[in-house]
Amino acid sequence: MKRPTRRQWYRLVLGFLVALFAMQLVPYGRDHVNPPIVREPSWDSDATRSLAKQACFDCHSNETQWPAYARLAPASWLVQHDVEEGRAMLNFSEWQRPQEKSKDAAEELLEGEMPPIPYRMMHGHARLSDVDRDRLARGLARTFGGPQQETTAGER
């Protein structure tokens, strides 16, 4: 197999840059306006709300903190999609509408499904300790009326 020539490398890099520039013209993923907060749930405690804000609010509320990389495609597309999907499933800022996933929140948290691994990798504040994860799961179960979860670490 022949090694690429310098000219081929230049063309490849130029093509990549043109494609990256063209992606910025797609009008999706840069609308970072948070809708108003209509109504929050009746939290069981301030600690539960604080932990939920730390780990969940970026995708599951109208209080999203948009990171700088969310302004450039294709990352902006992924972030916008995740926020839209998260708000559709469970939105702590629009509690006046049915929140079908609220009763599953504690279980998904304890099973490690939420917050998703890529989000935790990019956002250190979302990496909860075992104790905080258990506290949040119990608080979510009390707040949303889901089944009470047994602790896995820490407070027993």
Task: Classify residue 155: in a domain, yes or no.
Answer: no
The string of pLDDT tens digits covering residues 56-97 is: 999 999 999 998 888 888 889 889 999 999 999 999 999 999
Alpha-carbon distance of 128 to 134, in angstroms, equals 9
- C-alpha span between 133 and 109 (Å, rounded): 7
Sign of CA dihedral 29, 31, 33, 39: negative
- Whether the CB-CB separation of 134 and 154 falls below 8 Å is answered with yes
Question: Model-level pTM?
Answer: 0.78
Kindly state whether residue 114 falls inside one of the protein's structural domains: yes
Domain contains 150: no
Cβ distance 72 to 156 under 8 Å? Answer: no
Q: Is residue 33, in this structure, part of any structural domain at all?
A: yes
**Per-residue pLDDT at 146:** 56
Taking CA atoms, 28 is separated from 95, 108, 113, in Å, by: 27, 29, 26
Q: Look at residue 1 and tell me if it is in a domain.
A: no
Residues spanned by the domain of 45:
6-144
Average pLDDT, the chain: 87
pLDDT in tens, 39-65: 999 999 999 999 999 999 999 999 999
Residue 153 resides in a domain: no
Domains in the chain, number: 1
More confident position, 16 or 40: 40
Structure-block tokens of residue 93: 């800022």
